Amino acid sequence: MTKIPALTLEDRLMRLKEILQDEINPAQLEKLAAALISSLTQVGIGVAKSGFQFGGDAGPAGRQGRRFRIETKRYGDTTSLSDRELQGEVDDALSRDPSLEGWFLVATRAAPEQLEMALLSKSDQIGVPIIVIDWKPNSFPALAALCTAAPEVLGTFVSTEAENLARELQVDGAAVLASLTRDLESWHLGFERLRSLPIHHLKKLWTKPCASTAVLGQDTAGGHYSTTIRRASSFAALTHWWSGRDTTEAPAAVVGWEGVGKTWATLDWLTDRSSDLPIVLVVPSGSVAGFNAVSQASLKDLIAARFYELTQVRDLTHWRKRLDRLLCRPIEEGPVLTIFFDGMNQEPSAPWIEILRYLQDEPSLVGCELS
């Protein structure tokens, strides 16, 4: 009797992809994607009726505070995904719900790089994170990983064969599924992209004299000059402070006489360690001038204003809501923000002590530097 060879990982992925592309209809994929993402996020998701769907096929409609839209495309590898059409879907979703927290594209084929770049640009323009869950050929596909989150859902909406394939793929897809699960959390949606924007701003302050003069009122672009010498003692002290952030809630203060390079030293460290830090915000002391009534709400407004200035999209209300979601990040994930208050001595009337007390009371705002 001839022994049937066991299916390889590639065989299983190819067969599951074939089922999703060819053996179910678009309505089934809509229900499948909604049910799988519902299982992953633990929030109920409704599927829209046929016809105009306001920029997505499904969404939670505010359940448990979640407000995202899911757009599905059951396309074969040779069918193009239209970036213009998809960007229009995003606009429709945002016009329907100005509080939209994210827009998810679920596609049974690979999204081309050009499309992903167009969607990334769209995301930057409107301040809404966009997540693509597709079928990339050179790694474990994100859509296949999503299927492994709840194989029984495939049994309900697709077939027993699809359910079995998803179960058999669970071990191989575990790492991708863990990453996807994190990406879809409300506190993590768009986190890495939002982190990259302040890093770019930080490097401009460190390397371009005109940028630092405009923002901080002085030339602090130490990285622009070949004669700049690192302040080794302050650099080491900041590194020690950051590495011990789990055991102390104290902010770090860089002190010294006027003109000795406090801001230079801090920007040097922030720029050098930017890959290890969360979202870095530079707050000039002038931004706190006239800041009298200190409260959690007023500090959140101050931080939201910095996000708005960095991105120049949407409005303060949007960034305040976005900040509230970011601050839901679990403590074990580490701090959300590192805030650098520059030139505190230039605004002696500002209520710095009260500001720091409130910031220390917010566990997600562990990183706080002063100069």
Confidence of residue 365 (pLDDT cuts 50, 70, 90): low
Three state DSSP letters for 131-179: EEECCCCCCCCHHHHHHHCCHHHHHHHCCHHHHHHHHHCCCCCHHHHHH
> How many C-beta atoms surround the C-beta of residue 29 within 10 A?
23
pLDDT digits (tens, 9 = 90+) for 6-45: 789 999 999 999 999 999 999 999 999 999 999 999 998 8
Over the stretch 328-361, which tens digit does the pLDDT of each residue have?
888 888 888 999 999 888 888 888 888 888 887 7
How many residues are there in the chain? 371
pLDDT above 90 for 140: yes
Q: What's the average model confidence in pLDDT over 180-200?
A: 90
Mean pLDDT of 282-288: 89
CATH number of 9-184: 3.40.1350
Q: How confident is the model at residue 52 (pLDDT cuts 50, 70, 90)?
A: very low
Q: Taking 70 as the threshold, does the pLDDT of residue 5 lie above it?
A: no
Mean pLDDT of 289-309: 88
Break the chain into its structural domains and give their ranges.
9-184, 191-370
CA dihedral 195, 196, 197, 201 (to 10 degrees): 110
The pLDDT of residue 245 is above 80:
no
